[in-house]
Chain A
């Protein structure tokens, strides 16, 4: 990230977020500081960004003459997004408004005066996540909400798919402790390249819950790291600090795990998947907007992968990693998904 003051309170900042460079102009520097944590997390090593998006972030009221989006394009917990020509218009719960012209690669975010400052910042973050997701897709990348694991010495990876809170990070931590490597615990970019699909890392950070140290003592004391958000105890930890040399830049997806958790079942169960269930799993981890032109390349990427991946449903017991043999059994199961 580079930062430069422009006027008394104004500042500009530039962030490399994978293949996209974000150039931001703020009318108030305090907002830049609040967003720094989000934008610095996309810090995985890439060659020079292939595109730049310029974003002006200013305080005020959204334009009165533009109708509020209904969420026809995308409806998230915090955003309603509509497509209007080349523009994505997005409005958040507390009134953070964004107009992103994808063709011009320019966006304007208007931040309201609101007493709930933390929520305002979170909703500006959500607008920037939307902008980045579309900018990455515009460069041919499919954002996948999944972790990944690469065996020692290998170049193929297993994608680890599950909704938030099921245990992707725990499973990945268990294998990192066994010497496996990763592209990250919950975000990866995918793209067809030379007849294959390549997965790329986005972040050098991993989101660890302090209690994981009970199972994996090598994690050590992580309370000193910043919290991921005010809604979770998870800490945003630099991978290198705990598992040096185990963050990879890219890998070829060859396997997929759909992870579920059980309270009373056995510690570990593995059940093979067919390509239809694999595709369903992939589509469940990709944000697919309700716009045919934007949806088609994302679905096409998922389908191209689904036919190639060896996949399994992996069910992990709640306290499975208290038993040190579970990681070894898991490792064996994951190796069975790779060529």
Chain B
């Protein structure tokens, strides 16, 4: 499947948790322990997948937020990254009402994966560090 021509409805996996920061958001995948940071535009796109969205619906929303047609490939690249990282999954649910996402000023969406995941195996329930040989 060529990801950029899909008609799937995509939704954030239940074990993907997002949290807002002053200048965007951070999305943590509790399964892989990797996290991703997004600028406000990237976060607005990611939020559309909280209630489920198709690629076309994301394109339409981005145009309303100020994206030009020339900017669609970078929006698709972000969606492709979310799909390839397994942050979203294809669902069969019908279209849901918009979740009220707004963007103050359109800028190119940024969505980057942090190099260092959180530890999968840790010292203890209080110390999330890497266990050292005892």
Q: Could you list which residues of chain A lie within 8 angstroms of chain B, going by C-beta atoms? A: 74-79, 81, 126, 129-130, 132-134, 143, 145, 163-165, 186-187, 231, 275-276, 279-280, 283-292, 295-296, 299-300, 302-303, 306-307
For B17, list chain A residues within 8 Å (CB).
292, 295-296, 299
Does the CB pair A163–B129 fall under 8 Å?
yes
Contact B21 A276 (CB under 8 A): yes
- A276 and B37 within 8 A (CB): yes
Query: Assuming A163-B130, A306-B21, is B124 touching A76 (CB within 8 A)?
Result: yes
B95 at the interface (CB under 8 A from A): no
Bound-complex Cα distance A276 to B121 (A): 23
Contact for B124 among A129, A163, A283, CB less than 8 A: A129
Closest 3 CB pairs of A and B: A77-B131, A130-B125, A303-B19
Known: A75-B121, A299-B28. 4 other contacts (CB 8 A): A76-B121, A231-B134, A288-B28, A290-B15
- In this complex, the interface size class of chain B, counting residues with CB under 8 Å from chain A, is 20 to 34
CA distance A145 to B128 in the complex (A): 8
B125/A77 in contact, CB under 8 A: no
Kindly state whether residue B91 has any CB partner on chain A within 8 Å: no
Q: Is B132 a contact of A165 with CB atoms below 8 Å?
A: yes
- In chain B between 106 and 134, which residues have their CB closer than 8 angstroms to a CB of chain A? 114, 116, 118-132, 134
- Nearest chain A CB to B125's CB is how many angstroms away? 4
Q: Is A75's CB under 8 angstroms from B131's CB?
A: no
Task: Let me know if B20 is at the binding interface, CB within 8 A.
Answer: yes
CB atoms of A129 and B23 under 8 A apart = no
Contacting pair B126 A287 (CB below 8 A): yes
Known: A295-B17, A299-B19. A283 touches B28 (CB 8 A): yes
Q: How far is the CA of A83 from the CA of B120 in the complex (A)?
A: 16
Most buried by A among B19, B120, B124: B124
